[in-house]
């Protein structure tokens, strides 16, 4: 094992990377409220793991979506636990994200030189809410169906482009299979991809600029 490690160390300088991570200065004013971003990240990782597990059983069709969720909950070993963790960690993620935004705002974390950190954080906040909206519809029960209908109907009030936007979101004039397919694609592919882009940017900038000052 020692020789294997030495080969990796010679090529990747693992120890230097580890030293850089562990030697980062933490200001004395940091308290538990500065951990809210990390808790949000933890909830996101739980979401990824449990969401991936559920894709093995979920069927994104209007005729089978609800039945596949019921099957997961009642027939699959620990399926009820996986879905429950996914659901409650989603709520926890949104709550922690909101508290994190308040903490950053109150401590002036949006001020120079951290403007871009704030911008990427706001983008991640929008993505988090989008995860919630799209995921809420996937069971395709009465609550999910009407939630989609209401959310996708909001742009209707916009002059000129309102109706085209509604059709773009729904995939047709009315809510149906095209809508579910689009929301499923957003929830499982597009939103995770965007998050995978902006989250490393957010953390790298925090790493570079350090933690904002106290209240």
Q: Which residues are annotated as a binding site?
A: 35, 86, 100, 187, 202
Give phi and psi for 111, each to the nearest 5: -80, 165
Residue numbers belonging to the annotated binding site for heme b: 86, 100, 187, 202
Q: Cα–Cα distances in Å, from 1 out to 5, 7, 133?
A: 6, 10, 48
Residue numbers belonging to the annotated binding site for heme c: 35
């Amino acid at each position: 094992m020692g020789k294997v490690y030495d080969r990796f160390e010679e090529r990747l300088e693992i120890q230097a990377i580890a030293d850089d991570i562990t030697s980062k200065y933490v200001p004395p004013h940091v308290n538990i409220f500065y951990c809210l971003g990390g808790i949000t990240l933890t909830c996101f990782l739980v979401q990824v793991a449990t969401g991936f597990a559920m894709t093995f059983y979920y069927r994104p069709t209007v005729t089978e979506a609800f039945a596949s969720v019921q099957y997961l909950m009642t027939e699959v070993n620990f399926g009820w636990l996986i879905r429950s963790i996914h659901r409650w960690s989603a709520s926890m993620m949104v709550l922690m994200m909101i508290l994190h935004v308040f903490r950053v705002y109150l401590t002036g974390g949006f001020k120079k030189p951290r403007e871009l950190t704030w911008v990427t954080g706001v983008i991640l906040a929008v993505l988090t809410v989008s995860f919630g909206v799209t995921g809420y519809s996937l069971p395709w029960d009465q609550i999910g169906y009407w939630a989609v209908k209401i959310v996708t109907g909001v742009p209707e009030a916009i002059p000129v482009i309102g109706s085209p936007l509604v059709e773009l979101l729904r995939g047709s004039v009315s809510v149906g299979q095209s809508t579910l397919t689009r929301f499923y694609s957003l929830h499982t592919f597009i939103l995770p991809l965007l998050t995978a882009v902006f989250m490393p940017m957010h953390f790298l900038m925090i790493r570079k600029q350090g933690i904002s000052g106290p209240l």
